[in-house]
Amino acid sequence: MKAHSSQHEGGSLPGAAVHVDAGTLARLVPMADAVDALEAVLVSGLDPEAEPPRGVVEVAGGQLLLMPSATASYAGVKVATVTPANADRGLPRVQGLYLLLDGVTHTPLALLDGIALTSLRTPAVSGVAIRHLAVAEAERLLVFGTGPQAWGHVEAVRAVRPGLRHVDVVARDAERVAAFVDRCRDDGLSALAATPEDVAHADIVCCCTTAREPLFDSSLLPDHATVAAVGSHEPDAREVDAALVGRATVVAESREVAGRECGDLVLAVDEGAFDMARLHTLDALVRGEVKVDAGRPRLFKSAGMAWEDLAVAAAAYVARDAVG
C-alpha cells in the first residue's frame, strides 16, 4: 500500500476522520482500480497467511464479525453484522462500518460504509483471480444470484475481461432475475434468465449466493471454464460440488483460511475428492508461480479477508487526498 505522511498534507486534521459513503467510495475507487489495488498489495509481498483470523461472535439473531488488519502505512478494522432475518424486515442481511487508521500514529483517518466496501472488495478479489485464471477470449458469464455481489462480479469480470458480451442469470426470484437482466442490457451486455444447466455454455461462472448445497452439476462445466465461489465462509456450506474441487485447479486466499472457513474445499476433503496439498494461494497466482492447466477448470474459492478491506479502504483514502 502506498505510504503517506503522518501529517496528511491536503487531507483532514488529525483526529478528524472523514466519512466515505457508498456513492463516494464508488467514485473514488472504480472496480478496475480496486482490482489493481488488491493485486498491488499481493505483489508488494503481503502474506495473507500472517493475517489475524476473522473474529466471529454469536449474538441474538445472527453474528458479529470483527476483521482487523495492518501494514506499515495503515491499520483498520471492519465491524459487520450478519442477520438472516433482516430479509423479512426489508433490511440488509449484512451491515457494517470500516474504520481506517494511520499505521504509525493510529489516528482515525476515515470511516467507510462497510457494506459498500465489502460489495466492492469481494468481486475485486475475484477479479484478481479471474485475471490470471480465465481464458483470454472469455465472452460468456453465468452468475448465480441477483444481489450486490452478483452485480459486482459482472463489473469485476468486465474489468479484467473486456471482451465479455453475454451474461446468464440464475436465481430463484423471477422478478429479480428479470430486473438483473435488464440492468445488464442497460449496461450494454446481452443477458438472459438461465438455468443451472447453462453452465455448459459458460466461460466464467460466479457463485454469489447464500446456498449451502452445490448450485450446479459440475460435470456440465467446460474444461476451459473458471468458477469464482464467494457466497460463504463456513466450513459446512458450499456452492460447488466436490467433483469440481477434485477436477479443477484450485486457488484460495490462504491455506489456513481455506482449511478453517471454506466449506467448498473442506467438504470435498472430507469426501475424499480433494487433498489440500493441491491448493494454490492467490498471492502465488499473481506472482506467476501457479501453472494453470488448460485441460481442467479453474476454481477460485474466496472467504473474504481483512487485508482486502484495508487495501481498498486505503486506496479510497489516497484517492480522496489526490482530489483534495
What single letter denotes the amino acid at residue 148?
P
Alpha-carbon distance of 105 to 4, in angstroms, equals 12
Q: Are residues 172 and 35 in the same domain?
A: no
In a domain, 181, yes or no: yes
CA 26 to chain centre: 16
Sign, CA torsion 233/235/240/245: positive
Looking at residue 33, what is its pLDDT? Answer: 98
For the stretch 290-315, pLDDT in tens is 999 999 999 999 999 999 999 999 99
Phi/psi of residue 166, nearest 5 degrees: -140, 140
In a domain, 221, yes or no: yes
Instruction: Dump the DSSP string for 89-140.
Output: HTS-SEEEEEEEEETTT--EEEEEEHHHHHHHHHHHHHHHHHHHHS-TT--E
CA-closest candidate to residue 8, choices 121, 101, 120: 101
| Low-confidence stretches of the chain (pLDDT beneath 70) | 1-15, 323-324
Looking at residue 200, what is its pLDDT? Answer: 98
Q: Are residues 97 and 238 in the same domain?
A: no
CA-closest candidate to residue 228, choices 276, 279, 297: 297
In a domain, 8, yes or no: no
In a domain, 5, yes or no: no
Cell of residue 99, nine digits: 474504520
Number of domains in the chain: 2
In a domain, 107, yes or no: yes
Q: 261 lies in which domain range?
A: 122-304
Give Rg (Cα) of the chain.
19
Q: Are residues 127 and 252 in the same domain?
A: yes
Three-class SS of residue 25? helix
Q: Say if residues 207 and 239 touch (Cβ distance below 8 Å).
A: yes
Looking at residue 15, what is its pLDDT? Answer: 52
Q: Are residues 229 and 167 in the same domain?
A: yes
Q: Are residues 160 and 276 in the same domain?
A: yes
Alpha-carbon distance of 304 to 197, in angstroms, equals 28
Q: Say if residues 121 and 148 touch (Cβ distance below 8 Å).
A: no
Alpha-carbon distance of 76 to 317, in angstroms, equals 12
Q: Look up cell 490470471; give the residue.
A: 132
CATH of the domain at 231: 3.40.50.720
Q: Are residues 151 and 248 in the same domain?
A: yes
226-229 vs 298-301, strand pairing mode: parallel
Burial class (CB in 10 A: 0-12, 13-18, 19+), 45: exposed
Crossing angle for the helix pair 114-133 and 31-43, to the nearest 10 degrees: 70
Looking at residue 324, what is its pLDDT? Answer: 58
CATH of the domain at 317: 3.30.1780.10
Q: Say if residues 57 and 66 touch (Cβ distance below 8 Å).
A: yes
Looking at residue 12, what is its pLDDT? Answer: 44
62-70 vs 55-59, strand pairing mode: antiparallel
Cell of residue 269, nine digits: 476433503
Residue 140 neighbours by CB under 8 Å, 6+ apart: 164, 165, 166, 167, 168, 201, 202, 203, 204
In a domain, 9, yes or no: no
Alpha-carbon distance of 309 to 315, in angstroms, equals 10
Helices (H), the chain: 22-28, 31-43, 86-89, 114-133, 148-160, 174-186, 242-247, 255-261, 263-270, 282-286, 306-323
Q: Are residues 162 and 300 in the same domain?
A: yes
